[in-house]
Amino acid sequence: MARVRRQPARWGLYFIAFVWLVVVVPLSAAAAPYAAMVMDARTGEVLHSRNADTRLHPASLTKMMTLYVVFEAVENGEIGLDDLVTISRKAAAEPPSKLGLRAGQKIKLRYLIRAAAVKSGNDTATALAEAISGSEAAFARRMNRTAKAIGMTRTTFKNAHGLTQEGHLSTARDMTILGRQLFYDYPEYYNLFSRRSTHAGVKTVPNTNRRLLDAYRGADGIKTGYTRAAGFNLVASAERGGERIIATVFGGHSTAWRNQRVAELLDMGFARAPTRVAVHRPARPPYLGNTGPGGASGTEIRVSGLVARSVRPMARPRPAETVPVAVASAQVIDSAVAEVLDASVSDVLATVVGDPDEQVAEIVAETVRAEPAQPVGAAASTAGVAPKASVPPETRPETLQLASAAANERAAETAEDRVVTRLSTSGGRQWGVNLGRYPTRTSAEKVLLTTALAEMSALDGALRKVVQRNGGFEANFHGLTRDGADRACRRLQARGTTCFMVGPPS
């Protein structure tokens, strides 16, 4: 007799869904209080807040500070983007979300940064912390020092990834401040947060915030976060018509609810923010590295090619000079001058240039004897007599070559074969603006020319350059200062032109 296969009862699935909607979600909402903040990023003005100073679990919003410290370390030469980082057992064992790194694996720092910003990998955040400060605990102390320096007064970090830990707390206000600081202090890295996906060395990973990025016009970041204790958190930034708004939500009930609420807050911000207002950039915190005030370094900082200070050459030693105690009388001065004039010219030259050739001494002696000098004292003591007109010296013979001229010629001959190089300490005009990638060189050059004509004041002195890549031709402006590139890109964005800053080569 055939056995009848029994299908699982559908009521079981309904029961699970009922428990999730009726029990789990309300409990999560109760465990994660709601807090929100809306800020005009241009001025730092708060446009809306609710429970903004309540200390809550930030979840993966923590990685904004992790990345901020990493950007600072790279900029100051502590570590390079292409330096290989060895993954520790602790980093590899972090729970999801993660990139899936193995203990002992080596990976470039730039890929860890991408995975932490886009994928929100916990293993990559721990690896970054250990690479910069030697341990996650030391890195957390550095995070706290940096947070205090930029005005995050109610934040305490215990780890680099944001997983729930006792005492690891922040507020909606502090995270909004951090999002604004990231945007203004490291604009060359900010484009990471708007990538829908990125290659992280071992695989391509999607952005955890891609739904809001795709759904809300002008959204370009910044960071999501979720744990059971925190709920669904998000710090979002959007730019429209030169206005930039940052909105933060703590304790969302779900991803969809959180994104809808953030969209509403961003709309509120654009409605309340003035259209034209002066931009007030936040003050940048002082660079302290791994050593805080009165603290010891968490790890040794590797030597880089950056010049910490310009060493000036020592002053050339001078022979000891005798300082006269009293001023000699006029008669004594006249007598001394007369003795010098009566002395042989060859003796004088020997004193000045040090034993010249006899031919040089003879030529100079004949020139002096042809026009004898008058003692200074006699000329000064003769009253009512006009001084004798000075006679210009004769032209120097072509055969005459003093010791100093010969030395200069020898130095010039030697200098032709010598090249002196040094590291530049000026910082220079090494920044640029990228206008995107185009299918043909002609189209890229046309965009550069049109943009240069439209923004002559902002791009004054910039060089147009088309760079061929695998996907097409990139249109770039080079030769700007950091402030100049930042100002030019913002003016272009205000006109609706997509661009991002390009920093000096690493």
Q: Give 475's contacts (C-beta < 8 A, 6+ positions apart).
A: 434, 435, 436, 437, 438, 444, 445, 447, 448, 451, 464, 466
- Residue 63 a catalytic site member: yes
Give the three-state DSSP class for 85.
Answer: strand
Determine whether 203 is an active site residue.
Answer: no
Is there a catalytic annotation at residue 304? no
Catalytic residue (choose from 88, 97, 120, 133): 120
445-452 contacts, C-beta under 8 A, 24 or more apart: 445/475, 447/475, 448/475, 448/476, 448/477, 451/475, 451/477, 451/492, 451/497, 452/477
For residue 251, is it left (φ>0), alpha (ψ between -120 and 50) or beta? left
Q: Which amino acid is at 331?
A: Q
Considering only CA atoms, which of 47, 33, 58 is closest in space to residue 156?
Answer: 58
Residue 54, both tokens? 């309540």
> Residue 129's closest CA among 328, 317, 341, 298?
298
Identify the active-site residue in 28, 63, 133, 158: 63
Instruction: Compute the distance between CA of residue 191 and CA of residue 211 in angstroms, rounded to an integer.
Output: 17
Amino acid present at 130: E
| C-alpha–C-alpha distance, residues 144 and 133, integer Å | 13
Ramachandran region of residue 461, left (φ > 0), alpha (ψ -120 to 50) or beta? left
Separation of alpha carbons 233 and 164, rounded Å? 13
Q: Rounded to whole angstroms, how far apart are CA atoms 355 and 370? A: 23
**Separation between Cα atoms, residue 159 and residue 95, nearest integer Å:** 13
Question: How far is it, in rounded angstroms, from Cα 178 to Cα 152?
Answer: 8
The strand pairing partners of 466, in sequence order, are 475
DSSP 375: P
Give me 506's structure tokens: 């690493």
Residues annotated as catalytic (active site), given as ranges: 60, 63, 120
